[in-house]
Structure 1
Amino acid sequence: MKGHSLATNYIGFIQERFPDIMASAGEHLVISAAAVICGSIVAIPLGIYLAQNERKWLHTVTFSIANLFQTIPSLALLALLLPLLGIGTAPAIFALFLYSIMPLMRNTYAGFQAVDSSVLESARGMGYSRTQRLIQIQLPLAFPYIMSGLRITTVYIISWTTIATLIGAGGLGDLIYSGIGVNKKELIFSGAAAAILMAFIADWILGAVEKWVTRKARTGLSESMQ
């Protein structure tokens, strides 16, 4: 009976606070998506460029800088950004963007490095230009690596976005920290559960996209190499 009573109370709480939960989820989604999109725009082309570039010192410097951002604690990074960007969504998105660079760039670089050189030599012998090899061969073969990095990064960013509430950016962290402040377990659970569900849905969608695009790309690659 006690368990039934708790479930009933929680359902009533969800019905009462549903608009607030959805508003926080919307803010959370916007912050996470903006950070991942900005990270992808920067890190994926950079990873491709590094994979095509043979200057090892450039690889070392770039990866060292990107890795440096990963080592800075999230609260410390937010504190450093506050004097520059103030409070709100801007510093939260920028901080999460910095965290997204390394995994996206690393997986993109690894994917292009994993392409069999004999395949590229065959394409070169068939008259493919460098751009054609990049777009029609290397990118399709590296795509699973890129998507793997994107999926991992997205899940991490959705999780880390909960700290955005500390600088007034909103998101599901508002529910969690409010619940901690007033000792209301329903708020804490709602915020955490919504963030977990969002991460699962995002990963599932990206996984479906990865399978579909990879299948299409591999079919096109086989046809073009025949």
Structure 2
Amino acid sequence: MNLLAEALAWLSSPDRLTGSNPLPEALLVHLALTFGSVAIAAIVAVPAGWLIGHTGRGRGIAVALAGAARAIPSFGLILLLVLMLGVLHKTEAAIIAFVLLAIPSILAGAYSGLDAVDRRTIDAARATGMSEWQILWRVEAPLGLPLLVGGIRAAVLQVVATVTLAAYVNLGGLGFDILQGIQLRRFDQVLGGALVVAALALVLDAVFALLQKAAQPPGATQTTPRGDTRAARRTREKEALT
């Protein structure tokens, strides 16, 4: 309890607003790295996921690549990319690492969302004369949006925690206080920085949970596609959220 009280006292200190790494500035840097990386990952993963979900081709490859990407250690990848690109491009190296971390969840959410749409709905849309492009944009994408938002939600939570590693390559963010506290053996500072990161993750999770709920089309239901079992559908949904 004493350490927690000291951490809260450190957080409430006026130095958090005027010190060498002001908390508002560190928070903005952390959010910029997080959402910038997730946005780039979405530009890559959403079209690829929609293509896989719409055509039903390449799902096995996507699952394998997503699993392999999750197994890559983020800290080692950041250091490797910094060594490969040089210290003058450490920002680009860190962002590439965060993008690679975010892609699997967004990719899974994109193709799982389309794959979960009832095939009868798509057949009905095709029977009315809709083109494949219209089916994708007007039927599959809206119905698959909740799972896509769930995939983005998972990616944001993974990246916002990992962005703390950016401090190891002097990019700032909320990880700076944690790293500095470890070096100075200021455990109140370490805990205080960790609490801020945890609070930020909880806030973002709550926001995206509301967005995911709002993304559900009124009265729309997603039934088991292509003759899959309920267990298979639950597996796909878990892939989108992990």
Say which of 42, 45, 48 aligns to 1:43: 45
**Alignment partner, residue 68 of structure 1:** 68
Deviation at residue 80 of structure 1 after TM alignment: 1.7
Measured on the aligned residues, the alpha-carbon RMSD in Å equals: 2.4
Counterpart for residue 18 of structure 1: 17
Alpha-carbon spacing, 1:124–1:161, altered in 2? closer, same or farther (3 Å)? same
Tell me the secondary structure at the aligned position of residue 218 of structure 1: coil
Please say if residues 31 and 89 of structure 1, whose CA atoms lie closer than 8 Å, have aligned partners that are also in contact: no
User: How far 1:117 sits from its partner (Å)?
Assistant: 0.5
Which SS does the other structure have where 2:117 is aligned?
coil
- State the distance in 2 between where 1:140 and 1:12 align: 43
What is the correspondence of 1:1-226 to structure 2 with a 5 Å cutoff? 6=5, 10=9, 14-19=13-18, 20-55=22-57, 58-87=58-87, 88-214=90-216, 217-218=217-218
Q: Which has the higher helix share?
A: 1
CA contact (8 A) 2:6 2:188 kept: no
Identity over aligned pairs, percent: 26
* 1:164 CA displacement: 1.0
Structure 2 Cα separation of the partners of residues 8 and 66 of structure 1? 38
Report the CA distance shift for 1:9/1:103 in structure 2 as closer, same or farther (over 3 A). closer
Which stretches in structure 1 are left out of the alignment for 5+ residues? Answer: none
Q: Under a length normalisation based on structure 1, what TM-score does the superposition of the two structures give?
A: 0.84
Distance 1:206 1:93 in 2: 22
Partners of 2:15 and 2:80 lie apart in 1 by 38
In the alignment, structure 2 segments of 5+ residues that lack a partner are: 222-242
CA shift in 2, pair 1:35/1:8, >3 Å: closer
Cα deviation digits, residues 164-193 of structure 1 (max 9, x gap): 111122111110011111111232122111
Distance in 2, Cα, partners of 1:26 & 1:191? 14
Contact 2:101 2:158 in 1 (8 A): no
How big is each residue's C-alpha offset from its partner over 1:87-112, in whole Å with a ceiling of 9 and x where there is no partner?
43221111010011111101211111
1:164 alignment partner, SS class: helix
Q: Aligned pair in 2 of structure 1 residues 21, 65: CA closer, same or farther (>3 Å)?
A: same
CA distance in 2: counterparts of 1:130 and 1:23, whole angstroms: 46
Structure 2: distance between partners of 1:107 and 1:12: 36
Counterpart of 1:209 in 2: which secondary structure? helix
Contact residue 28 and residue 171 of structure 1 kept, 8 A = yes
8 A Cα contact 2:41 2:106, kept in partner: yes
- Note closer, same or farther for the CA distance 1:7–1:170 as it changes in structure 2 (3 Å cut): closer
Aligned residues: 214
In structure 2, C-alpha distance between the alignment counterparts of 1:83 and 1:172, rounded to whole Å = 23
Matched residue type, 1:14 = S
Q: Which amino acid aligns with 1:15?
A: P
Deviation at 1:161, TM superposition (A): 0.8
Q: Following TM superposition, by how much is the alpha carbon of 1:7 offset from its aligned partner in structure 2, in angstroms? A: 6.0
Per-residue displacement from partner, 1:130-150 (whole Å, max 9, x unpaired)? 122111111111111101111
